[in-house]
Structure 1
Amino acid sequence: MKSQTADVASTIEPRETTQGWLVVLASMIGVAVGLSPIPFYTIGMFAPELSQAFGWSFAAMMGSIAVQSGVVMLISPGVGIVIDRYGARNVAMVSLMLFGLCFMSLGFSTGSLTLYYGQWVVMSVLGAGTLSATWTRVVNGWFDRNRGLALGIASTGTGLTGFLIKPFTAWLILNYGWRTAFVVIGMLPIVIGVPIVFRLFRENHAAVIDVAPDETVIVEEYGVTLRQALRDPRFWLLAAAFLLIAFALTAPTPNMENILKTFHFELPQIARITASFGLAVIAGRVIGGWLLDRIWAPLCAFGILMVPAVGSWLLTGSTVSPTSALLAILAIGFGAGFEFDLLAYLINRYFGQRHYGAIYGCFYAVIALGGGLGPVVYGFSFDRTGNYHAVLLSGVGCLIVGSLLLLLLGPYPRWAANRVISAIA
């Protein structure tokens, strides 16, 4: 038996090859059929059916999304640790399978709201491995020069689901009923996600190491541990920034139709304007990711996040024209699309890959907290004042302060390449 320790600058590097882009494709599909978009974009279609069947209020049914957000906020750090320990691919396949089965089980609801919420709790726990920490960890490992663009393309899966799943769900409910619709949609992660992840989703363990064929090589990934990250002031700076940014970017989304309604737009006009939001999210993911590869990320973030800040400000006037309303919605959507790409990119650059999943899970909990508070605060402000002017201005302030905090992060650390810590014959 022999052991060796060495830093190898050219031993293990992200290889921007066809395989890497296939991983991006698999990640995009995995995101699209995961826990984040499917329940969020389909609950509005199922709500009238469940209300008619069981007499549940809309507020009670929308509470299921709050249940999901709360569970995810609590378990995200733990899920990240599991991803780091057992591998993103294994976690993704198991979680896609279990998430699909849990979603299918909603089709067998009996009318008990308590049981219904319990199903959402279980689904959120078992499906948490399909959230962005899983996919971004692996994509980061395959890319360096085009990392931002790759992350942006991978995360467009949510936009694709938002565009396709509503009409598909409506068709299923109209032709086969809501119970069958739950079952069919729950099959998507299993019949589409699992095979594609099994075939294409691979972590980059490629190495060219000069050891004998009968030796086993143990490689330590670059970056810091979770404990080291928690002692780094940049961790808390980033957490404060994303708490503010998540609050400001998430809050307008569920309030969007009502915001436009306060300016006396008619429902068909509101529908046409808000339909642009999904396309703006996709644009924010791809364009923002491309820019991250070319501009220091905190400075890039400052510039891009001023776009939704202007969008929120446009909605604070006493009157808003249809053109201004459209520009505002596009601007907010563009910023919302950029948020998670930015987070994944910054974590990798400042804390590395070593405990990426655990660190990302901590920040996902921060985003869940800010994103969960935002819509409630906006709704409360409307109930008290009859408009959103003051709270939208607070959102503008949050974006400005959050962006300025990112500028304090300083230059990227210079990581050594992955380190060969032992070679055992």
Structure 2
Amino acid sequence: MVEHSRPAQIQVAATSFLALFSIVGLALYGLPFYYDFMVREFGWTRTQVTSGNALSKLVVGPLFGFTAGWMIDRFGPRRLMLIGILMAGLALVGLSTVSTLGMFYLFYVLNALGYVCGGPLPNQVLLSRWFDKARGKAMGFAYLGIGVGGALVPLLSVWLIANFGWQGALRTLGVLIIVIAFPMAFFVKEAPEVEQERKQSAPPASISGALRSKSFYLLALGSMCSIAAVGGTNQHLKLFLSLDQKYSQDAAAGVVSLVLMFSLVGRVLMGWLADRIPKKYVMLLIYLLIAAAIPFLFYAARPGAIYLFAIIFGIGLGGEYLIIPLMAAELFGVKVLGRLMGIILTADGVAEALSPYFVGRLRDATDSYATGFIMLIGMAVLGAVAVALLPKRKIAL
């Protein structure tokens, strides 16, 4: 691997930090904080308000996920990042104006397009191209942006809502996404493959070889199950706390922020571990942490239990998103990482869409989150089983 200049690496890591801070931390994690306002104001059910996430992932993921991966491998991640940042910002501005479910779903789809084009996928490829030995550390730092944005957005939203109403708060978040992330992404340098490196390196792994590998499907299954557990929890956490447990807005925001603050610990810790021990074991630890955290929600009326949930779930959440591309790069190399992650993230999108939808349906049908939470625990455990069957080293393709 050719050594890239330190200043350029710092710029790349900072760009990914801000892109993930904005598109995932503010836009993705921020929207569920506004669901209860929409339920109260428009009379929508929990299933309806969380179906925006489901619909957008089911439409956008299968149609655009693999295409985005191919475009990143072919043209580089920068162009898609710029488009994605604009889409995510405009989507939040649009969501601040909706009063019908149709428009709500339309702008949610636009937000999902922004996530696909400017979120984890292009940043994973960008970081993997620039970093080799310290890839885990670099990915961990960049993914801190998700935790920082996610931890700040509930607290920022409380202040914005108090001063401008929930629609004004959403508009402000949309503008912030563009102002924060677009300039850095515009000037970021992509790491070109040097011809000398191409000649000296081994032939790149083919995507067909990866798709014939059992390990690819185990990785995809593990990722889908974990994302389903995380997505189902994240999408319903604020609804569960504020409407079922009668937490105040400030108290619910505090729990959500605590989760995302401890996700910062998880990103640093798991990135550090991933550079030192087999990534398979790091991935297994993350999935087991997620499975162990969710049962504490059954005791959410007890402050100690909800804080334990926030700490354990936050650490698992922090490592969950960054470990998947690290594991994929370790197993299959970086040459086709964009396309492989495009497939995995498409599958993840389907899981992340269906999980909150079914949790919402179960809540509406039973008047309780108990069955839904049990389902999420089972998904996390199944993901851990799939990961346990993965090899520790790069496989021959």
In the superposition, the TM-score normalised over structure 2's length comes to: 0.83
Give the Å deviation of 1:85: 1.4
From 197, 220, 225, the equivalent of 1:244 is 225
Give the Å deviation of 1:301: 1.9
Give the Cα separation in 2 of the matches to 1:43 and 1:329.
16
Q: Hey, what does 1:104 align to over in structure 2? A: 93
- Structure 2 unmatched ranges of 5 or more: none
Q: Hey, what does 2:391 align to over in structure 1? A: 410
Q: Hey, what does 2:287 align to over in structure 1? A: 305
Given the superposition, is the C-alpha separation of residues 123 and 254 from structure 1 closer, same or farther in structure 2, using an over 3 Å criterion?
A: closer
The answer on 1:292 being equivalent to 2:274 is yes
- Select between 118-127 and 18-27 the one with higher mean Cα deviation: 118-127
Give the Å deviation of 1:348: 0.9
Q: Hey, what does 1:205 align to over in structure 2? A: 192
| 1:312 partner amino acid | I
Give the Cα separation in 2 of the matches to 1:234 and 1:414.
8
Q: 1:148-177: CA deviations, max 9, x gaps?
A: 121122112222222333444455555556
Q: Hey, what does 1:134 align to over in structure 2? A: 122
Give the Cα separation in 1 of the matches to 2:102 and 2:183.
34
Give the Cα separation in 2 of the matches to 1:342 and 1:155.
10
Give the Å deviation of 1:208: 8.3
Give the Cα separation in 1 of the matches to 2:25 and 2:133.
28
Q: 1:38-62: CA deviations, max 9, x gaps?
A: 154046448737975xx46364454
SS at 1:329 equivalent: helix
The answer on 1:329 being equivalent to 2:310 is yes
Q: Which structure is higher in RCO with an 8 Å CA cutoff and minimum separation 6?
A: 1
Q: Give the count of matched residue pairs.
A: 394
1:260–1:325 CA contact under 8 A, matched in 2: no
Q: Hey, what does 1:9 align to over in structure 2? A: none
1:222–1:415 CA contact under 8 A, matched in 2: no
Give the Å deviation of 1:195: 1.3
The answer on 1:65 being equivalent to 2:47 is no
Give the Cα separation in 1 of the matches to 2:86 and 2:247.
42
- Select between 176-185 and 396-405 the one with higher mean Cα deviation: 176-185
Q: Hey, what does 2:339 align to over in structure 1? A: 358
The answer on 1:280 being equivalent to 2:262 is yes
Alignment map for 1:3-402 (pairs within 5 Å): 12-13=1-2, 15=4, 17-34=6-23, 37-42=26-31, 44-45=33-34, 48=37, 52=41, 55=42, 57=44, 59=46, 60-74=48-62, 75-106=64-95, 109=98, 111-125=99-113, 128-169=116-157, 171-172=159-160, 175=163, 181-199=169-187, 201-205=188-192, 207=194, 209=196, 223-256=204-237, 267=248, 272-315=254-297, 321-383=302-364, 387-389=368-370, 391-402=372-383
Give the Cα separation in 1 of the matches to 2:60 and 2:340.
15
1:35–1:124 CA contact under 8 A, matched in 2: no
Given the superposition, is the C-alpha separation of residues 383 and 222 from structure 1 closer, same or farther in structure 2, using an over 3 Å criterion?
A: farther
| 2:141 partner amino acid | I
Q: Hey, what does 1:213 align to over in structure 2? A: none
Give the Å deviation of 1:29: 0.1
- Structure 1 unmatched ranges of 5 or more: 1-11, 211-216, 417-425
Q: Hey, what does 1:5 align to over in structure 2? A: none
In the superposition, the TM-score normalised over structure 1's length comes to: 0.78
Given the superposition, is the C-alpha separation of residues 218 and 30 from structure 1 closer, same or farther in structure 2, using an over 3 Å criterion?
A: farther
Give the Cα separation in 1 of the matches to 2:253 and 2:169.
24
RMSD of Structure 2 on Structure 1 (CA):
3.7
Give the Å deviation of 1:262: 11
- Select between 20-29 and 261-270 the one with higher mean Cα deviation: 261-270
1:222–1:354 CA contact under 8 A, matched in 2: no
Give the Cα separation in 1 of the matches to 2:94 and 2:375.
41
Give the Å deviation of 1:188: 2.7
Q: 1:238-289: CA deviations, max 9, x gaps?
A: 1222222222233233343566689978657665444421112222122111
Given the superposition, is the C-alpha separation of residues 314 and 180 from structure 1 closer, same or farther in structure 2, using an over 3 Å criterion?
A: closer
Give the Cα separation in 2 of the matches to 1:120 and 1:112.
12
1:292–1:300 CA contact under 8 A, matched in 2: yes
| 1:145 partner amino acid | K
